[in-house]
Amino acid sequence: MDLNDLGTLEVGRFIKRENRFLGRIVVDGKERSCYIADTGRLRDILVKDREIWVIKNREGLKTDYTLITVNVEGEWVLVNTSLHSNIAYRAIEKGVLGFIPKRIEKEVKFKNSRFDFLVDKNTFVELKGCNLVKGDTGYFPDAPTKRGVKHLRELIEAKEKGYNAVILIMALRDCKYFLPNSETDREFSEMFYKALDKGVNFRGFKIKVEENGKIYFVSTLKLGSI
């Protein structure tokens, strides 16, 4: 995937986050507003004066720009969840689930949820983006997520109804392992391990955003030990 396909990537500087969706930035020496398409806390990422990439919004929108990436100590970190699905789709195409699929469907309804993917008509896949890193381990979530717990519960139900079920973690920063973030959301962590016990599979992969704006699937992600 190439971020340049979204439009012209402009370089700016982050100032502050005013609420979940609104930030203040500087572009070309002028203070502007930006849309933040990631509801996570991002406390280790949205730090004042960090370099950012943004796309200018069309006229009529409430914000001037949309935030795409943040430079965290030399690593470009994607902070736009609207792009996650397309990236994961390509990773699934390349075999991140352990096989090359014949068919991938997006946003497929199951009971009261829509899972991100249905692969080969028999494998439900729910995707989560992981941007909180400590040492060599990535953690999800970085904020409590009732929606995430609901998805895990329904992956278990899909498995019980005869489907294959996968929780797919996409690491947005450099790490080797993944663990559920029990300190932030104990309910999600407990449901994650319950899902594994019930036969839901864990798969993980890591992406890298290059200086030219291209995104690469660089390696798989292992489940860490507690």
pLDDT tens, residue by residue, 62-79? 999 999 999 999 999 999
**pLDDT number for residue 168:** 98
**Across the chain, what does the average pLDDT equal?**
94
- Residue 188 Rama label (left phi>0; alpha psi -120 to 50; beta): alpha
| Strands 123-130, 164-171: pairing kind | parallel
Identify any residues that bridge with 24 across adjacent strands, giving them in sequence order: 16, 33
Contacts of 56 (CB under 8 A, 6+ apart): 7, 8, 10, 64, 65
**pLDDT number for residue 39:** 85
**pLDDT number for residue 219:** 87
Options 3.40.47.10, 2.40.50.580, 3.40.50.10070, 2.160.10.10; CATH for 3-78 is 2.40.50.580
**pLDDT number for residue 89:** 96
pLDDT tens, residue by residue, 11-29? 999 999 999 899 999 999 9
**pLDDT number for residue 225:** 82
**pLDDT number for residue 111:** 82
Identify any residues that bridge with 177 across adjacent strands, giving them in sequence order: 137, 222
Res. 226: pLDDT tops 80: no
Smallest CA-to-CA distance from 174 within 77, 36, 41, 64 is with 77
- pLDDT band for 60, please (50, 70, 90 cuts): confident
**pLDDT number for residue 126:** 97
Distance of alpha carbon 24 from alpha carbon 104, whole angstroms: 38
Instruction: Please say whether the beta carbons of 12 and 31 come within 8 A.
Output: no
In degrees and rounded to multiples of 5, residue 177 shows phi and psi of -130, 165
Res. 127: pLDDT tops 80: yes
With a pLDDT cut of 70, the percent of the chain lying above it is 100
- Reported CATH class of domain 81-223: alpha beta
**What is the domain partition of the chain in residue ranges?**
3-78, 81-223
Distance of alpha carbon 111 from alpha carbon 125, whole angstroms: 14
Domain 3-78 and domain 81-223, same fold? Reply is no
Q: Rounded mean pLDDT of 45-74? A: 95
- pLDDT band for 112, please (50, 70, 90 cuts): confident
**pLDDT number for residue 53:** 97
